[in-house]
Amino acid sequence: MKITIFYLLLVFISLPLLALSVEKKVYIVYFGEHDGKKTLLEIENTHHSYLNSVKESHEDARSSLLYSYKNSINGFAAKLTPDEASKLSKMKEVVSVIPSHGKYRSQTTRSWDFVGLNDHSWNRAQMGDDLLLNAQYGKNQIIGVVDSGVWPESASFSDVGMDPVPKTWKGICQEGVAFNKSHCNRKIIGARYYVKGFYNVFGAVKPSEDYLSPRDADGHGSHTASTATGRQVPNAAALGGIAIGIASGGAPMARLAVYKACWAMPGKPKSDGNTCMDEDVLAAIDDAIGDGVDILSLSIGFNEHSPLDQDVIAIGSLHAASKNILTVCSAGNGGPSPASLANIAPWVITVAASGIDRQFSSPVLLGNGMKIQGYSISPYAMNQMYPLVYARDVARLGVPQYLATQCQPDTLDPYKVNGKIVLCFIGQGRNVDKGIEVSKAGGVGLILANNQDNGNTIFYDSHFISATGVGYDGAVTILQYIYSTAYPTARIFPVQSVSYTPAPFMAGYSSRGPNHVDAHILKPDITAPGLQILAAWSEASSPTKLPYDRRSTKFNLYSGTSMSCPHVSGVAALLRAVHPNWSISAIKSALMTTGLYRESCNSICFWFGSFPAY
């Protein structure tokens, strides 16, 4: 009898503990659109009433609420148990309950000339002789960028010569770490940050990793914002003076509204990318709609294939569309795999990435007089011949050959490498790390060779020593030379910008169709420059974003559909300035059906057009 009572007491004691141990996660409860009849306070109270109906106390209901979406999107984000989420999902007013899968990822001196924006090549019957002038460079259009924040000191965000902030603007300049109201101006007219979802999963933002404010510690947000709407900056260049020229956004007189919803991943290098939680992104979109942006630019995406009613960017952009706000999104960097798309909602412009007619040449001169084409953005020059070796032949004793061939860490023998150029093959690990291994062993230069699978694909890396990358065919030629002479030598030439044809060409990393949710909707919609684009950068970051890279630069070359997306955002702002009465569908249609004729190649060599399953 005593044993039975003991077990009953144990069960009664355990039940509340079990209830407490049920894992809570963030869910977004979505009701659709507001009817416009309630105040913001009434909306928040209504959201609390739904939480009260499934929570045990008012205190629990209030503490569980992360965001109440009140501007256009009707819904809230809260910490719920699966049972609480299930109860809410059964209510007739609820459209959907979305678990926060959380981890959206954050996916130019020449590109605007290449697409013809600066040379009167747009359709003159529609736009006049010059789209930029006719649109007054996007004057008073407002582009909202949801990303990792902004580096406000960049010359790309100067407000010199700009008119006062439009009276229609309803946004704020939210202060935080290393960011105050003085960092907003007539260019950056608004700045906000969203961290509640991040905090719920990862805890507080570490000062050593990011700023708890709209300030950009990464570079990605500043790069995308300046590509869309950066001012014209003369003599801008990447580290080492590479790609020097006038850096400009597509709509340099448009206004910028910053919505920081993407944060550094704790304990990981910035090169691994940012993370953007669903609930934070949706809060940013909701505020942007209420603030009065004209264009939303999101260079972020989620790789999982979610139906549209479970996709917060699709939901948020649908509400933006109802207010005639155009949303432009990156297609993702999952190529060349098929059906690798992100952001497939039919009401957004989904942007793929393509190359332009510029490459960064850094040839290799061999001791026999043969020149092998190479490509690089390494800022370090070499002005003489040096001994040349193959990494496999200068490995440390006992190191497997395949590791030495790839210049893996601690594989090279300093006695054999000192003062030499080393030929390494691409493989495991970062390309930049291979140059570090060569430098650590005393090498003066790196020739990074493609393997047979990579062929002649071009890889650009900002190495710490003189370095260049060669295709597989070039690598074979260099190896044949090394083994044909007793004292092989080589020189790596400094980087030069060179013209390239044919262009454009699709970037290998650009995500492809078919649309995995609805194959009847062709995606991506459009392609734009996304390969080695020069734009503003965070001075709290480095060109490689690696923790041991202490270099700093005001402008950086970066690649991805993240870079192609703001190209379209900028042009969309120009079209909207010229045609303020056009619907967002008309703007999307105009972009997708416009080809630019260029005399330099006697053909349509850049195409804003449909790009289905590639």
Residue 358: name the closest of 228, 470, 250, 501 by CA.
501
Among 113, 147, 278, 294, the active-site one is 147
Helix, strand or coil, per DSSP, at residue 361: strand
- Distance between CA 161 and CA 186 in Å, rounded? 9
Residue for token pair 């590509």: 227
β-partners of residue 190 are 257
Reduced to 3 DSSP states, what percent helix, strand and coil does the chain have, rounded to the nearest 5? 30, 25, 45
Which distant-in-sequence residues (6+ apart) come within 8 Å of 520 by Cβ? Answer: none
Residue type, 15: L
For 554, phi then psi, to 5°, come to -80, -25
- Distance between CA 65 and CA 51 in Å, rounded? 8
Among 47, 48, 183, 220, the active-site one is 220
- Largest separation between any pair of C-alpha atoms in the chain: 98
Question: Sign of the C-alpha dihedral, residues 343, 344, 350, 352?
Answer: positive
If one counts every other C-beta atom within 10 angstroms of the C-beta of residue 455, the result is: 10
Q: Is 147 noted as a catalytic residue in this protein?
A: yes
β-partners of residue 55 are none
Among 362, 376, 542, 562, the active-site one is 562
Q: Is 220 noted as a catalytic residue in this protein?
A: yes
- Distance between CA 459 and CA 442 in Å, rounded? 24
Q: Which helix (H) or strand (E) holds 142?
A: strand 142-147
CA 274 centroid distance within chain:
9
Residue for token pair 């009613």: 309
Residue 534: name the closest of 326, 179, 265, 237 by CA.
237
Which distant-in-sequence residues (6+ apart) come within 8 Å of 416 by Cβ? Answer: 389, 393, 394
Torsion angle, CA of 20/22/25/28, rounded to 10 degrees?
A: -100
- Distance between CA 77 and CA 128 in Å, rounded? 47
Q: Is 273 left (phi over 0), alpha (psi -120 to 50) or beta?
A: left
- Distance between CA 44 and CA 51 in Å, rounded? 11
Helix, strand or coil, per DSSP, at residue 88: helix
If one counts every other C-beta atom within 10 angstroms of the C-beta of residue 1, the result is: 5
Residue for token pair 């020229």: 245
- Distance between CA 373 and CA 470 in Å, rounded? 7
- Distance between CA 227 and CA 565 in Å, rounded? 9
Q: Are 605 and 522 in contact (CB under 8 A)?
A: no
Q: Is 393 noted as a catalytic residue in this protein?
A: no
Residue for token pair 């040449």: 361
**Helices (DSSP H) in 373-532: which residue ranges?**
401-405, 414-417, 431-440, 472-482
For 256, phi then psi, to 5°, come to -115, 130
Residue for token pair 């999107």: 73
Active-site positions read 147, 220, 562
